[in-house]
Amino acid sequence: MAKKTTKKASTKPASRKRDNSNSIEMIITTVLGIACIGFGGFGIFTGIEKVSTLALIAGYFLLGLSIVDFIGLFRAKKSSGKFAFSLIKAGSELLIAILAIVNNENGMTWPLTLLSVYVIGQGVLQVMTALAFISNKTERFFWIVCGAVGCLLGIIALNSGSLADRTSFFRIFSIYMAIYGVTSLVSLVYKVKK
């Protein structure tokens, strides 16, 4: 009898630790999803027409996303392949954010081109992550569609002519962020159902 009680007591803390880790991951995913949807709505419906201001807003938003992603990395398993993808995502967000903020006054083509490349790169990472690490077919489908749409929107923005004269790029970037936010929340629903 004493052995059974000891064994049960030793498995409870491991289960609690796993539950706490999942709770933190869910909170981070929820924050990212809601922030991306909010940013997307702001970007689509904003009345701001000055492209340098819009690029600066996008840069600061990516900076915030990278910080949240880096916080999430502290909770991830360091040995997994998903950790490497998450590290690349957070690092690229940080790099693009800093470059967009710092180079904001050096002409608008450079920061907007960086943001277009970011959207394409994130789309590719999402598709690769979905194919490699997501077992639920419906959830995988959503992430593949999100990644493919990201690639498409990034290519459209990159090839849209003189980006310095357009605010439409910011709206394209905002649409992608809104889609990413919705996909994150849909993915969260599938994780909660498990």
**How far is 174 from 58, CA to CA, in rounded Å?**
9
Question: 79 falls in which pLDDT band (50, 70, 90)?
Answer: low
**How far is 85 from 94, CA to CA, in rounded Å?**
14
DSSP one-letter string for 146-174: HHHHHHHHHHHHHTSS-GGG-SHHHHHHH
**How far is 48 from 51, CA to CA, in rounded Å?**
8
pTM: 0.79
Comparison of pLDDT for 8 and 61, the residue scoring more: 61
pLDDT beyond 70 at 7: no
Q: CB 178: neighbour CB atoms within 10 A?
A: 19
List the structure tokens of 11: 């498995």
Mean pLDDT of the chain: 81
Asked whether 184 and 36 are in contact (CB, 8 A), the reply is: yes
**How far is 39 from 96, CA to CA, in rounded Å?**
17
How many structural domains compose the chain?
A: 1
String of b and e for 100-123 (b: at least 16 CB within 10 Å)? bbebbeeebebbbbbbbebbbbbb
pLDDT beyond 90 at 191: no
pLDDT tens digits, residue range 143-175? 999 999 999 988 888 877 555 456 777 888 899
Give residue 24's domain range.
Answer: 2-193
Specify the CATH number for the domain of residue 80: 1.25.40
